[in-house]
Structure formats: C-alpha cells, structure tokens
Amino acid sequence: MTTAEAQPALDFVRQIVAEDVKANKHAGRVVTRFPPEPNGYLHIGHAKAICLDFGVAQEFGGTCHLRFDDTNPTKEEQKYIDAIKADIRWLGFEWGEHEYYASDYFQQLYDWAVALITEGKAYVDELTAEQIREHRGTLTEPGRESPSRNRSPKENLDLFERMKNGEFPDGSRVLRAKIDMASPNLNMRDPVLYRILHATHPRTGEAWCVYPMYDWAHGQSDSIEGITHSLCTLEFEDHRPLYDWFVEQLGIHHPQQIEFARLNLTYVVMSKRKLLELVEDRHVDGWDDPRMPTLCGLRRRGYTPEAIRNLCAKVGVTKHNSLTDAALLEHTLRDDLNKRSPRVMGVLRPLRVVIENYPEDQVEELEAINNPEDESMGTRTVPFSRVVYIERDDFREDPPRKFFRLAPGKEVRLRYAYFITCTDVVKDENTGEVTELRCTYDPATRGGDSPDGRKVKGTLHWVSASHALSAEVRLYDRLFTVPDPTGDKSGKDYREFLNPDSIEVLTDCKVEPSLGNAQPGDRFQFERLGYFCIDRDSSDGRLVINRTVTLRDSWAKIEQASSKK
C-alpha cells in the first residue's frame, strides 16, 4: 500500500470500547457486526459504518461479524448479498467465518415470541396497519389500546401458531408486544413483532409465512451472536429502550448499543430507496453508474478503497449529523491517486498539428516519466512523428492576455518532445472552424529542453496521430445541482435538482499507444486533464475511459485559505 492513511483518533465510540476492555467487561472481548439489509447495494454511507465496525474490532483484537438482516423477503435478493460481500472485501475488510443471517435465527425468534405471549407480554392483533397507526397516538397524545390487547395468552398462542401455519392472509393479523400505549417513546407503544407475508425467502424458501420485524430481529440477533458493542446510526437511539426491554424480558445477553452520526455527502442522495428510484427511472445507468455514491459506482468511476477509508477517518465518528463536503472526498481521492497513478498522455478534443520541417517517415521514441511522485515507477517511451494531436483548448487564434498556450506565431513545448511554433492555421471553408495547425519544430530542443536558455511558458500534452488509439471518454459532473437535494426548504422533490449535464461523452478522443494493454479498472493520470479509469464497457478494439476526477483540488484551496486566516 502506497498511501499513508490517516490514523483514526480515539473517537467517543473507541473511548467507550477502550474503557470496557480495560475494565474487562465481557471478559475483555470485543465483538461488533455490520448488519446490512440485502435490499440494495452499499453506498459510501455504509462505508463509514463498515470502517467503524471492522476497524474497532481490528484495533481491539476482536471480531466483526457480517450479518445480513434478511427479514423482508419481498425486497431482498441473493444478488444483493453477493454484491455486498464483494464491496466489503474491495473496501479492505474480511469477516472470515463470521457470516450470519437473521433468517438463521427465525426459529429462535419465533420461540422467544411464544415465550413473550405465554407470559402475557405479547398479543395477536387484528387491527390493520392503518388502524394501528391511528391508535398509536402522537408525541403529545397517548395511544389507544387495541380491543385485542387483553386477550388471554392461550388464545394468543393459538392464533400465533395459526398465523405461522398459513391460515390467514397477508395483513390480516400481527403479533404485537404488550408494553405501554401511553409511553412517551412511540417505539414502546406495543410495537409490531411479526407480520404475515406469504413470500418466498431467498434463504428459507417457503418455510415461513410470518416474518419478524426489524426491531424484533435486530437486537436479538446481536444477542445470539454475543455482540458486545452494537454500533448503529443515530436514528436508532429511540429504539434502544425497546431493544433493552426485549433482552431484559427474555433474560438473554445484553449487547451495548452505541449510536453515531451518519455520513451524508453533498451533491448526492444516500437513501437506498432514492438510489433505487434513480436506477428504475433511468436517471442513471444502473447501480454502478459512475455518478452514483454506491461503492460499485465509485469503484467503476476509479475511486480507490484507500481514498474512501481515508475520507471516513477524516470525517470521524461523532453524535452530530452533518453534511460532508464532496470536495473532501475528492481531496482524499486525488491525494491517493497522485501517488499511485501512472501518467500518460491523451487528448480529449483533438486538433491536428502538422510539423512541416519534421521528416515524413521519421518516428522517434521519446522517454517519458511514469510518475514524478514515485521514481520506482520508471519511464516509458512515447512515439513522436510529423503529425500529432493537441487539445483544441490549447490553441487560440486570437489569444487573450496571459494565454500561454499555442497561438499563431507563438512557441510552446510539447511535453517530453520538442518546442514547436505555430506558423499557419487551416480552416474549414464553410464553417470557419480551425481544422489543422501548421507548425515548425526546433530539433535542438529534443526532450523538451531548451539548449540556449530560451523560455516557453506553455507545455502541452499531445499524441502522435498515426500511433494514437481512439477512445471514448466519459466526463462526469455532480449528479445534483444543489448540495443537499433532499433538504429543499420549499419541499421540492430531490429529482428536480438532477444535473442535466452530469455526464458528457466524448467519442473521438486519442490516447497514447501504451494504453493498448490496459484492462478495465486500470487507473491513469492523463497529464493536465485529471485521473481516469478504464471502464468495463471496454472490449477488444474498444476503449472506454471514465474521468474519475479532475486535477483541480478545491478542498486544498479551502484548507489553504482557512490556514491563512
């Protein structure tokens, strides 16, 4: 690994764990878990939880379980399970033998529900979901009891068993805990534990037609696995009394739940439901669209696991919800890519340049440095010949002041090659568009060095026309036009803020021939243009390249500005 990763400071979660270990709580053991619901792909918010769950376990010599909270068969699929596992491994974490599924505990959870019913602490209710909501009351008004609430345990046991046996249709009955309809905490107002769902489960098949609610399954699954520190996001703080109530009633191991703030990033949405909408409504090209904040999208775009882990370390673990500037993620990304990416030359919008005094059939192999940040990456040769392409933007017929690139009569350096001077401009007769430049070169400047101390201000990237490979390059911009698309004060739907220009596809790009062997996933810096990654749409004879990020680091500027203050 070439990247020095930021060491996570002892945040409040790690402080608690450190104290517990010191006090020999749980016999000094640390067992955490990452509990995804297999109903979508992981996003960068999940990465924060993964880094914390696995990170804490690693740092304290403990273990971290991967547990799929697969309690909703209508939304969950094996493909998500596989993708989640691949993404966690890509991020750099491993759970070994500790792969678990809430569905493995369905029988135990059922038996515990029966135990609660027997003790008069749970009951079967015929109210509809709508009625249950109405009865629940509000933060200022207590709830109302269901007419079924005081049914005898015997009757409840019979009904629950018949629910399990498939005698009743979906939605006709639920099992509820009997706690307190007047509790100030709405989660304690007789929460639903089981619902009827005649659905095929990816793992248990047809075995069950009652399924535990997340709230009933989650804490008990933690308990079964002997989790010591159950780390979850802040919205579960209000659920903690309920989880505590369950394990106390059942008299089983009591994991300690600790809540931390979610990661939110500017210019994206992070909820799985919204990401699914973007995919289904075709606003993006699938879950791994390089504009998505999903781990598979970021990977396809060219992000490194190190950059993502480093972002999580920099953001830290706190109790306050906040919005992290996407520029910070781009900063950790550039920082990492700068060290590891080989430099190559590619031209996005080619302009033909004919070097008139360069011999027709001559080709020179010129030496180029692969990474000025890392000498061990060595050098390569790039072919130079009479006709090259430069970037259209690097030429102005009528240059403004301080335009140090090419213009009629001006001299510039072609990187690693020669100084050239523009002598003539060829235009399309009809449109007036510049189609070709005529130049001369100075043979004494081979390698790009001036023999007589003559200075040129501009250094351009280029490719040899007859050697270049054609490529499609996809440039990306932010997916949304506002930093917080779901937080609009006037209540506009987040989709109204989709950026219509979030992707630009350039089909006529030219890249140096060394890219001929590049494989999907390979990363490069195109000199002066940014960091790029070979896309999986590439195949024999077709080169598709994503721009991961430009070279301009707005975060570094923000940091500089604030350190000057």
**Which positions lie near ligand ATP, rule CB under 6 A?**
35-37, 45-46, 48-49, 232-233, 262-263, 270-272
Name the catalytic one among 37, 59, 145, 161.
37
Q: How long a stretch of residues is the chain?
A: 565
Smallest gap from residue 270 Cβ to ligand ATP (A): 5
Smallest gap from residue 11 Cβ to ligand ATP (A): 13
Smallest gap from residue 94 Cβ to ligand ATP (A): 18
Smallest gap from residue 47 Cβ to ligand ATP (A): 8
SS3 at position 426: strand
Our CB check for ligand ATP shows the closer of 36 and 297 to be 36
In the chain, % helix, strand, coil (3-state, to 5) comes to 35, 25, 45
User: Do residues 192 and 160 lie in contact, with contact meaning Cβ atoms separated by under 8 Å?
Assistant: no
Our CB check for ligand ATP shows the closer of 87 and 125 to be 87
Annotated catalytic residue 262: yes
For residues 338 and 142, give the distance between their C-alpha atoms in angstroms, rounded to a whole number: 59
- Please count the other Cβ atoms lying within 10 Å of the Cβ belonging to residue 82: 11
User: What letter does residue 73 receive in the DSSP assignment?
Assistant: T
Name the catalytic one among 48, 189, 272, 510.
272
- Lookup: tokens for 20: 């517990």
Q: State the maximum Cα–Cα separation within the chain, in Å, rounded to a whole number.
A: 101
Smallest gap from residue 375 Cβ to ligand ATP (A): 39
For residues 59 and 408, give the distance between their C-alpha atoms in angstroms, rounded to a whole number: 62
Annotated catalytic residue 314: no
Our CB check for ligand ATP shows the closer of 269 and 437 to be 269
Our CB check for ligand ATP shows the closer of 46 and 301 to be 46
Q: What angle do CA 153, 158, 159 make, to 5 degrees?
A: 95
User: What letter does residue 43 receive in the DSSP assignment?
Assistant: B
Find the residue with minimal CB distance to ligand ATP: 45
For residues 118 and 234, give the distance between their C-alpha atoms in angstroms, rounded to a whole number: 33
Name the catalytic one among 144, 262, 339, 528.
262
User: What letter does residue 290 receive in the DSSP assignment?
Assistant: T
Our CB check for ligand ATP shows the closer of 381 and 486 to be 486
Strands 229-233 and 174-177, by their bridges, are unpaired
Our CB check for ligand ATP shows the closer of 37 and 180 to be 37
Strand-by-strand arrangement of the 462-464 sheet: 459-460, 411-414, 419-427, 434-441, 350-355, 387-391, 462-464
Our CB check for ligand ATP shows the closer of 148 and 233 to be 233
For residues 427 and 439, give the distance between their C-alpha atoms in angstroms, rounded to a whole number: 15
Cα dist from 330 to 262, 316, 403, whole Å: 19, 17, 28
Our CB check for ligand ATP shows the closer of 45 and 55 to be 45
For residues 311 and 126, give the distance between their C-alpha atoms in angstroms, rounded to a whole number: 49
For residues 367 and 369, give the distance between their C-alpha atoms in angstroms, rounded to a whole number: 7
Q: Nearest to residue 168, comparing CAs of 194, 192, 150?
A: 194
Annotated catalytic residue 319: no
Smallest gap from residue 202 Cβ to ligand ATP (A): 15
* Residues that are catalytic: 37, 262, 272
